[in-house]
Amino acid sequence: MLHLRAITPKDRTDEVCRILADDPGTTNVMVFPDAARRPPGDVVMCDVAREAANDVIAALRALGLERDGSIALERIDVSISAAADAAEERAPGHGDDAVVWEELDRRLAEETRLTWSFVAFLALATQLAGIAALIDSTILIVGAMVLGPEFGAVAAVSHGLLRGDGRRILRALGVLAAGFAVAVAVTFVCALVARWTGIIGPDALTAARPQTGFVYHPDRWSFIVAVLAGAAGVLSLTAGKSSALVGVFISVTTVPAAGNIAVAAALSRDGEIRGSAVQLGVNLLGMVLAGTATLAVQKAGWSLVRRRRRRT
């Protein structure tokens, strides 16, 4: 269940209450007259099944509440209510399968902002990946994969493609490009300093690397894994299963490829630079395509569910 709070102008409160009363997926409707001060108006609250949230939000937006009032949603961790259970039963589908598009839109909008924390995490992850390449460490590769924060921006590109929103696509791609550019540059400088001070030798990447050699040897499996990870990542975002994202991070070779590019550049290993760049591109492309396809299937599926609901 989700908790909905709406600030509504007084002349629209009755219509808001009618919308909530008529929707079978809502319950526990409460009205607080003149409770809101900025913006002024009445406060209307209710609990709504996740599966029914899109229809309710669309109806409230049609009244102009996002412009003249406010609409807020928050997740309810525990709901002990027979009325809430009944609302979930009446709502179509299952809550874990439902996509609340406004929630996804706001979440991914945050991922298209180039923040210091995004760049810092990506730079740290890339440095770990660079060290993993130097010492051929699987554990550090996994750590770098988990630490990398790039999937949110990848998912934002997929969402932008689904919506045909070129501005969002460019913004997300810009965040990815700038983030990886800074991360690779920082790791490159650190590798150069390590080489000049004798911490690593010029032949550090010449030995066989059975644990991490896949990073600069892309093949068909690289694309297949990226596609599967992209689909799983989008599903975890839309279903609110954030724990599943850890598996997505460990599956893709974006950050390890970026780390290997930086270290290989510092040690003048042109072949590894090219192979790692291809690996990075293959993984990003696979995730974007799979994410877009997954969102399209979810949108089509829920449109069908909503049409059937209206008929009944």
Grade residue 307 by pLDDT with cuts at 50, 70 and 90. Answer: low
Q: What is the predicted pLDDT for the residue at 302?
A: 75
Q: In angstroms, rounded to a whole number, what is the distance separating the alpha carbons of residues 136 and 309?
A: 55
Q: What is the predicted pLDDT for the residue at 303?
A: 75
For the cut 90, the answer to whether the pLDDT of residue 187 exceeds it is yes
Grade residue 305 by pLDDT with cuts at 50, 70 and 90. Answer: low
Reported pTM: 0.86
The set of residues, in sequence order, having a beta carbon less than 8 Å from that of 166 and lying 6+ positions away, is 160
Residue 18 CA: distances (Å) to CA of 24, 106, 226, 303: 12, 27, 46, 23
For the cut 70, the answer to whether the pLDDT of residue 242 exceeds it is no
The string of pLDDT tens digits covering residues 19-76 is 999 998 999 999 999 999 999 999 999 999 988 898 899 999 999 999 999 999 998 8
